[in-house]
Amino acid sequence: MANTKVVLSGWELDNPVIGASGTFGYGKEINNFYDINILGTFSFKGTTKEKRFGNPTPRIAETPMGMINSVGLQNPGIHDVISNELPELKKFFNKKVIANISGFSIDEYIYCSKIIDKEEQVGIIEVNVSCPNVECGGMAFGVDEENVYKVTKAIKQVTTKPVYIKLSPNVTNIVSIAKSAEEGGADGLSVINTLLGMRINLKNGKPIISNIMGGFSGPAIFPIALRMVYQVSRSVKIPVIGIGGISTAEDVIEMMYAGATAVQVGTANLKNPYACKEIIENLPKVMDKYGIKNLKDIIGKA
């Protein structure tokens, strides 16, 4: 029988399929379609110190084989997540969750990470230093080696749970950024966040998205994400979660061959809310097709 279990920093997951932050909310919406306990886990919506409305609309632009979004980290704020969202989540999700944290200063990253670290429901803290949709934060940290090192080190000094740094692909050399995170004490890496893209409305000649540019995601970026996971996983000694354009069980296996210990499924959920469920159900069948008995055995074997 195919063994789909994987281990992230001592945390054993039933399978490597994780709902990606920003596409899974805090679990309630997708749980209306199916029991999300079948997931390895999921990463909840990017959360900041204060409540954020996000960017002005329009925020979404369609594109072949993907989409561009500029939501801008809309969220209820860290204290609301702890007092309302996590207790609500506990009613229907019996596994630990990945807490996705974002900020606009090192102090804000420290603040949010320190208090979410105390929550029993949180298994991993995923630090978003790579969001391209907000000014004066997110990607401003993720494109600079020194900043990534400083943010990682500062967070590790106030937390006890594993810390995974979510890296931006919008850099000259993602390997050097990954090494900076590892040197700062990161327990793992999430690779990659969205690329920077835009669309123009031909009827008026203006950008479709109010913020002009946004995060480009979907199947079109899969080969880029795969390449970066391959490069990063061979340059560090910590686990990598592969993200970017994954929509099938075959994609999961390919990403794991490249070096990912687990994967996150994002944009596919917005097109098909059953995407993760279908991938999980198909995974053992695809493993059998390719003679794979244990997923752990193929990690980084490309």
Active site residues: 131
Q: How far is CA 86 from CA 27, 54, 283, in A?
A: 10, 21, 29
Pairing of strands 195-197, 163-166: unpaired
Tell me the angle at which helices 174-183 and 145-156 cross, rounded to the nearest 10 degrees.
30
Residue type, 31: N
**Which ranges in 162-248 belong to alpha helices (H)?**
174-183, 222-233
In contact, 295 and 3? CB cutoff 8 Å: yes
Strands 262-265 and 17-19: parallel
The burial class, CB within 10 Å (0-12 / 13-18 / 19+), for 136 is: exposed
Q: How many CB atoms lie within 10 A of CB 114?
A: 15
